Every structure is written in structure tokens, then in C-alpha cells.
Amino acid sequence: MGVIYKHSAPFLQIAQDLLKTGKAKAIAPTRQTARCLKQSRPFTLDNLAKELLKQQGIRVLNPLEQYRYLKQAIATTLNPTDLEGTVQIWQGAIQELLQTSPDLDTLKQFETPKIQQLYQVIHAYQAQLQSVGAVDPAAVLWQAIALKPEPQTLCIYGYPDPRADEVAFIEAIAAPDSLFHLPYTDEKGLLSRQAEIKEQLQSKGWRLEEEQSKALTLGDRLSQKFLGQSSLNVEPKTVQAHVYPNWETEARGTLGQIKQLLQQGVAARAIAIVANEDTTWGPLLLHVAQEYEVPLSLPNPIPLQKTRLGAWLLQLLSVIDSNYAFETTAQWLSHPLTHPLGAEFWQVAHRLKPNTFNAWQALTQEHYQLDLAVLRPPLETTLSAWTEYLKKILNVFEVQRQALPWATETVAYKKLIDGLDSLATSTAETMGWEMFQTELRTTLQLLTTPAYPIRGGVGVHNPRNLIGSQYDYIFLIDGAEGVLPRLLRDEPVLDFYTRKQLSDQLPIEGAIAKARREQFQFYSLLQVPQVQFTFSYSSLGQGEGRYRTQTASIYFERLGLQPTKNSVLRAASRAEAYQFYLTQASIPTVLQSETLDQAIAAHQVEQRRLQKGVLDEYQGIIGEPFPWQEHTFSASQLLQLGQCPFKWFATKVLKLEALDEPDTELEPSERGTLYHKVLEIALKAHQEDPNLDLTDFEQLQKWFIEAEKLVEFPLLPGWKRQRTEHIQALQRAIAAPEFLPENRNVLALEAKIDCTWQDFRITSRIDRIDQINGTNDLVIMDYKTSSNAPKGIQDESGLLKIDLQLPIYEAAVRHQYPEYQVTQNLYYSLTKGEKLNSKSPDEKDLQAAGDRLKAHLEEGSYPVAPDRKYDACTYCDFKAVCRINREEQE
């Protein structure tokens, strides 16, 4: 029994007075509602129930225990193929049913297979918890009610739409002098559920208090308008509605208005940004807020796996799984939570490219006295020992100290350690590395931390967190149809049909009740603003990896608001001011800086590139002759120059290199190098012993392993299996009749020949030169790992049709072996095991091609000019530099 207050203003006044006496306990679910009761921290009905259970020695599961026991129950009852996936899908449905009723034996009455499965899982789950004296967090209110607790004087605020278990607990625990704020009307509609609760409590002796403040707040008028009870008569600036072209503009427009309020002296704690998808919007808002120097707080919980700490741990798992591959390990050691290793260390590391544990261990001990032995995992041990293993790594790398600059990471570290302590006591069974990885990944997924907690900042909230609170300024963003209100979606376990079946026996929400609750949240949110309410949406939204056009939410119309186009009209940061003055003739003195000068110069370069006008040094036209007559070229270098001059310029003049990224399979160039070395070793052995079977698998495997050592081949994941596949591919290529016909003998392997071709000094390395038995005829053979003949250089029409490599090789062989004649010049595919067809260019075309190459070098002209079909771009490492693909798309 107690008093039900219909309106918040008189309730808050009476409740605050009662709480000052110390005779009542405040029940407020969020920090915002607690602040309305002048309390320093929230205290929920669940918190009160947990206190009662603790007094009786009943333990409430933490998230990790909850997941583990439910996983065991599902495994024993359903035995699904994908256990982890099933637990994640079923967990929400189990929690909702546990909240719905204390007695779920009614589920036995249903013959539907799905409901029978739900009953079996819940029955097994609760039996496990009963055996260890524990209770699921979703069932704490029902369990507390079963204890028949002594009544307490409560001031309950922030529960305007309570669930059935919350109402039942209030009935069981509230003393006669308790106060409960419950907005209701006698009319059926949006507040019909509140009217039912009011009548239910009245029947138990609760009294009604309908006194209302004479002065209506902005929130009162907005909520009444939403219910259609009155017209909305407010000052134009008090309620605003905007439409923005996209998310970023909406974020900038919103934070720009907030920055103006802060400059006018409005306290940050009096302003709140509200978004239904607060977790999605958080990173964008934080990025813009930091640029604008607006203090922003993101209290929404995120899993530890999305923190820097989580990323550090997941990278650590990848390092160990990759057997300390260079790129993977380098990324981990470069992480902000790893102690900085210094420029000298990284210079040596990039030169040596350590690729094994021992190599990294030697490097870190020599330059930093860091012992990596702590990383080596045991083969198999208990979960308790595994957690100690991980804690030792955290201590050795001083991760807690490295996390201090970030509040999120500091909180995340504490949550992780608590989680590891919980894991350590969960089971005594032994497990291997793979199983421990699964446990750790699950822990990082289940444990949460505030996304960006700071005190005194402008908060970003979802509507649920602000119900019952009061803010002077509310900015409700992302108010698009389908987002606000959310679209109703069927759930995989408790779909709408199943809910309809269950509603005959259980007070479970169906589609209509869910839609009503969604609308009620918005109605409650409208009561929050006291001075100004700004409602906006973007006409272009994004989600699920794609963009989508959006229209205004129906809520705009219900409030009588017509959104007006809005954009960022005033620079709210120095970066925005710089962006504006990039194209202005005069620049204010306060903005003049070297940074802006550099930005203007870069912008002008980009403009010239996009205009496709006269080319300059930024498009490869440097105007400085290259001393080509003094330089020694390879055939592949001339091929690069002839396919796209800028590709050669980027490699040989600018000295750019491709990023060294971790691979799981052989790159085409690595495959070619390895195959060439294997064949060189094999054919040398065959020269010494012609009876040797080149196709013997065991012999080929030995040659393969020898070649790997000679070329310092990087160890790839699953390489043992991959090696077998590559050996079999070479086996087929060698067995083909065109590989080494009976009438030919190998004259030279990997022959290095220096010669001159069209005045170019050339060094050629020719894969194989064969001699036809009994003649002076030679056959030049160049191995290719592709299935097609290589593209040549550009002809006069811009197509890659002039083969340069074989003509250069032929000139080199004629120079080296003048007493012989070249009768065949061919490419051989190691993939297909056959000769590749290629067309030999005539001397006129070759002469013209050579002249074009010389012209580029003599004029210092290396434009971004690939062939007309962009075949030269296919395997180019410098697309990010020349941006030819993006330019063509524009």
C-alpha cells in the first residue's frame, strides 16, 4: 500500500522531503532519475531485490556465470550443432520468460515443439542454479517476492511503464507510506497499461494523488500535444525541427548548436543528445565533439572486445596463432597499450622482419630487455592457470599503466580482471589453447564498459535512460521513419506467433504491446525538456553497410512540426574554418598558419588533378631527365615503364614499396620465386643425373623444402597442406611433354646476361636455355605461374600488345652465345603445364616502343597513364597514390 502520484512535480517535492528524513529509500533506475530525487547514485528495484537475496545467502549470477550455466543447459537438452550461436540466440528469450512469471511449468501445457524446448531448457537451467544456490538476474524480483520481505518505505521514480514482475515486487515490498510516480489517464489508448496498473494497486489499498502544478512545463505541453489533448503554443525557438542531408551534417549541426549554448553559459549537464541508436551514433558524435572542443559523455555500454584493451587481447591471440608472423606481431607491439619500443627498435625490426618467436625474442631482449617467454602458452592446463597466464602477460607489459590515459580503458581493465577471477573459479577441468581462446573471446563479448565516461559532459543517451529525468535542452537526433519508432521485428525464438500462443497463460508482450511500449518511451521523453526541444533527422541514413533514403518520423506530424532544411552555416572549429578558407583570397590573421598554407597548396594540387588539365610534378611530370644511358635496366623495369610510366616512377624514383601485410596464401610473386628456385634445384640435379625422375613426389618435396630455405620463405598458416598442393601443381607441369622434350637438353639455368638493347644497358636473368640435340639451335624458356601469356607494353593505341620480354631475352642470348641461333622463344605456364601462345612484335613496333621509353626518361615525364583497359592496374601496388580507379569513376 502507498500513494500513487499521477504528476511528477508534486511527487518530487513530497519525495524529496520524505527522503530528507532518512525514513525512506529512493528507488531510481538511472543516474538521471536519481538526480531528480537529489540522490548521488541510482538504486533500482533489482538492486533492492538482490540485497534481500544476499541476506538469505542466495547468489545472483554474473554475466559470465549466466552464460556458462545456460550453455550447459542448452547443450544437455538441445545438443545443437552450433552451441555458441544457439546460446546467443536463445539467451534473450530465456531472460524474458524468467521475468514474465515465477512459475513457468505452464509451458508444459503447450504441444508446440519450440515451446516444449523452451520449457526443457528453462527447467534444466533452473535445476542447475538451484543446486548451487544461485538465481538468474532476470528472476531476482520473483525470487525476492517468494521470501515475503518486510515492507519498506520507498520513493519509486523512473518506472512509468513497469513490467509485471516490477509491479508484483512493488506490491510485496512497499510500506503504506511509500510513494510511487505512475502517469495515467482514464482514457483507453497509449496509457491504458498504466490505468490497469493503477486499478490493480488501488484494489490493494493504494491511494491516488492527482494534484498537478498550475504552471505547465515545456515537457507537459509536448506530451499533451502528442496525446492530442491540446495545441502546441510555444515560442518558435523553444521547439525546433530540422532536416539534414546526412548523418555527419546532422552531428555537426547538433553539436554546433550545443557549442553556442555552452558559450552562452549553459551548463553541459543541462543538455542531452538523444538517439534511439546511441551506440551507433556515439563514435561519430565523439569525433565531431572533440574537433569542436565540446565535452561529450557516452555512457552507453559497449563490450570489452570493442575497447582498446579488447583489441590488444584479440591481437595477442592472432600473434600466437600466426606463430609470430612479422606483420601481425609488429601491429600488436605497436598498439597503444604496449609499452613504446622506440624508433631504433622499429628500424631494426623493419630491416630484419623477424618472423618467428625466437627472432622476435632475440630482437626485444637486445634492444629493450623485454622477455617474450611469458607469451608462450601451456599445452593444456586448468582454467584457473590459464587466467593466471593471461594476468602475467598483462603485468609484464604493464597494460594497466598504459591504459591510464583513457577512462574507458581503465574501467575496462578492472572489468576484465574481475571477469578473469570469475572464470578462474568456474571449473576445474583442463583445457587446451583453442578452448581457452573461446572462453576469452566470450568474456570480451559479454563484459561491458561505458563507451566514453566523463563527468560533467553533454550526455548521449537512448530514450529509455532519460525517462523521468529533467534537462533544460534536449536534442533528439535520427528521427527518421523506421528508426523512431523502431520497426517491429520478429525474433528467432519468441516470434509473434509464439508470443500469441503464450499470452493465454503468461503476461508476455505481443506485437501490439511492444509497439505501445515504443510509443510510450517517446511520450515519456517529451516530458524531459524544460527550456528547448530540438528534433531532427537526416534525409540520407546508413546502416547494415549501405546508405538509404529516409523520411521524417510520424512523430513530427503528431507534434505539428514541419522540419526545415538545416546545414552547418558557421564554422564551429578551426578545422571547419580552414576548410572554408581553402578557396578564399583573403584569410583572417587569426587563422593564418603554416598548417593552412600547406592545406591550401594540397587542395590546389588536388583541384588540378581533378580538372585533368596541364599535368605537373604531382602527376609524375617532374621535368628532370633521367640518366638512362648510365643506368642498367631489367626487362621487367622496362615493362613497367612501358605499361604505365608512373608505376615505374613510383618504384624506381620515389622508392615506394607495397605494404607488408600478413598473408594466408602465397602471393603470385612469392609463388613464382619459389617455383623458379625449386625448378633450378631440380634441373641442376637432373643435369648431374639424367636418370633422375623429376616427377617423383618425395624428391620434389625435398627440393621444395630446400628452396624455401634458400629464398627465406615466410611460414604461412596451414603451409604444410598448401605445400602439398603446390608440389602437385609442379609435378603436373614437369610431367607435361612440352616441359623437357627428349630432343632437348638444358644448357643454362637462371642465366644472368648483360647486353645492350636499343642503347639500353640490360641485365637479364633467363629461367632456362635449352639446346636441341645435335644442333646449334637454342630454345629460350621463361616460366610463368599464370595461365595466360603476360601483357606487353603499350602500343601507339594504348593497348598492351607489344611483348618486350622475349625480344630482350633473345637479344641477350644472341649476345652471349654468338655461335648459336635462337629458334624458339616461349613462355611456359607452370599452372597449365603447356606453352603459352604469344605474338612476336615486328622490329618497327619494337623500335617505336623503345623510342617512347627513352622519351619518358629524357623528358622526366611519368604521367599516370595506364593502358586503355587498365590491365596494368590489376596487380599495381600504388593505386592509393595515383588513384586512377577513383578518378575514372568520378
Instruction: Give the bridge partners for 649, in sequence order.
Output: none
Angle subtended by helix axes 697-710 and 668-688, to nearest 10:
120
DSSP H stretches of helix in 8-111 = 8-20, 31-36, 45-55, 63-77, 83-100
Scanning the structure block, which residue is given the C-alpha cell 525470487?
Answer: 143
Please enumerate in sequence order all residues whose Cβ is within 8 A of that of 827, keeping only pairs 6 or more positions apart, or say none. 782, 783, 784, 789, 790, 806, 835, 836, 838
Report pLDDT for 662: 54
Report pLDDT for 367: 81
Q: What's the rounded mean pLDDT across residues 467-472?
A: 93
Report pLDDT for 386: 94
For 34, what's the count of Cα atoms within 13 Å in the CB-facing half-sphere? 14
Question: Is the pLDDT reported for residue 885 higher than 60?
Answer: no
Task: Tell me the pLDDT tens digit for each residue of 105-138.
Answer: 999 989 899 999 999 999 999 999 999 999 999 9
DSSP 3-state assignment of 470? Answer: coil
Task: Tell me the pLDDT tens digit for each residue of 347-383.
Answer: 888 888 898 999 999 999 888 778 899 999 998 999 9
Q: What's the rounded mean pLDDT across residues 237-263?
A: 94
DSSP secondary-structure letter at 712? T
Question: Is the pLDDT reported for residue 606 higher than 90?
Answer: no
Question: Is the pLDDT reported for residue 499 higher than 60?
Answer: yes
DSSP secondary-structure letter at 152? B
Report pLDDT for 712: 78
- Mean of the per-residue pLDDT values of the chain: 90
**pLDDT classification of 216: cutoffs 50, 70, 90:** confident
**pLDDT classification of 752: cutoffs 50, 70, 90:** very high
Least confident of 10-14, 44-48, 216-220: 216-220
Instruction: Give the bridge partners for 380, in sequence order.
Output: 432
Report pLDDT for 890: 41
Task: Report the distance separating Cα 437 and Cα 389, nearest Å.
Answer: 12
User: How many Cβ atoms from other residues are within 10 Å of residue 449's Cβ?
Assistant: 24
Strands (E), 205-270: 207-209, 239-244
**pLDDT classification of 663: cutoffs 50, 70, 90:** low
Please state whether beta strands 448-452 and 296-303 pair in parallel, antiparallel, or not at all (unpaired): antiparallel
**Which H helix or E strand runs over 632?**
strand 632-633
Task: Tell me the pLDDT tens digit for each residue of 143-155.
Answer: 999 999 999 999 9
Q: What's the rounded mean pLDDT across residues 717-722?
A: 78
**pLDDT classification of 664: cutoffs 50, 70, 90:** low
**pLDDT classification of 887: cutoffs 50, 70, 90:** very low
DSSP H stretches of helix in 560-667 = 574-581, 594-611, 635-643, 645-648
**pLDDT classification of 275: cutoffs 50, 70, 90:** very high
Least confident of 311-325, 584-598, 622-636, 830-844: 584-598
Tell me the three-class secondary structure of 735-772, residue by residue: HCCCCCCCCEEEEEEEEEEEEEECCEEEEEEEEEEEEE
Least confident of 84-93, 549-558, 618-627: 618-627
Question: Is the pLDDT reported for residue 610 higher than 80?
Answer: no
Which DSSP string corresponds to 511-547? HHHHHHHHHHHHHHHHTSEEEEEEEEEESEEEETTEE
Task: Report the distance separating Cα 806 and Cα 750, nearest Å.
Answer: 15
Q: What's the rounded mean pLDDT across residues 404-419?
A: 94
Question: Is the pLDDT reported for residue 888 higher than 70?
Answer: no
Task: Report the distance separating Cα 502 and Cα 487, nearest Å.
Answer: 22
Q: What percent of the chain has pLDDT over 90?
A: 72
> Which long-range contacts (C-beta less than 8 Å, at least 24 apart) are formed by 616-624?
619/646, 619/863, 619/864, 620/645, 620/646, 620/649, 620/861, 620/862, 620/863, 620/864, 621/860, 621/861, 621/862, 621/863, 622/649, 622/653, 622/860, 622/861, 622/862, 623/859, 623/860, 623/861, 624/860
The residue with greater pLDDT, 581 or 515, is 515
Task: Report the distance separating Cα 525 and Cα 535, nearest Å.
Answer: 12
Q: What percent of the chain has pLDDT over 70?
A: 97
Task: Report the distance separating Cα 328 and Cα 312, nearest Å.
Answer: 12
User: How many Cβ atoms from other residues are within 10 Å of residue 350's Cβ?
Assistant: 11
**pLDDT classification of 609: cutoffs 50, 70, 90:** confident
**Which H helix or E strand runs over 698?**
helix 697-710
Q: What's the rounded mean pLDDT across residues 840-858?
A: 93
The 3-state DSSP composition of the chain as helix, strand, coil percent (nearest 5) reads 50, 15, 35
**pLDDT classification of 568: cutoffs 50, 70, 90:** low
Question: Is the pLDDT reported for residue 622 higher than 80?
Answer: yes
**pLDDT classification of 715: cutoffs 50, 70, 90:** low
**pLDDT classification of 889: cutoffs 50, 70, 90:** very low
Question: Is the pLDDT reported for residue 613 higher than 70?
Answer: no
Least confident of 159-163, 209-213, 714-718: 714-718
Report pLDDT for 492: 92
**pLDDT classification of 660: cutoffs 50, 70, 90:** low
Task: Report the distance separating Cα 210 and Cα 11, nearest Å.
Answer: 10
Least confident of 226-235, 619-628, 730-739: 226-235
Cell numbers at residue 455, please? 563527468
**pLDDT classification of 229: cutoffs 50, 70, 90:** confident
DSSP secondary-structure letter at 670? H
Question: Is the pLDDT reported for residue 823 higher than 60?
Answer: yes
User: How many Cβ atoms from other residues are within 10 Å of residue 597's Cβ?
Assistant: 11
Task: Report the distance separating Cα 521 and Cα 711, nearest Å.
Answer: 66
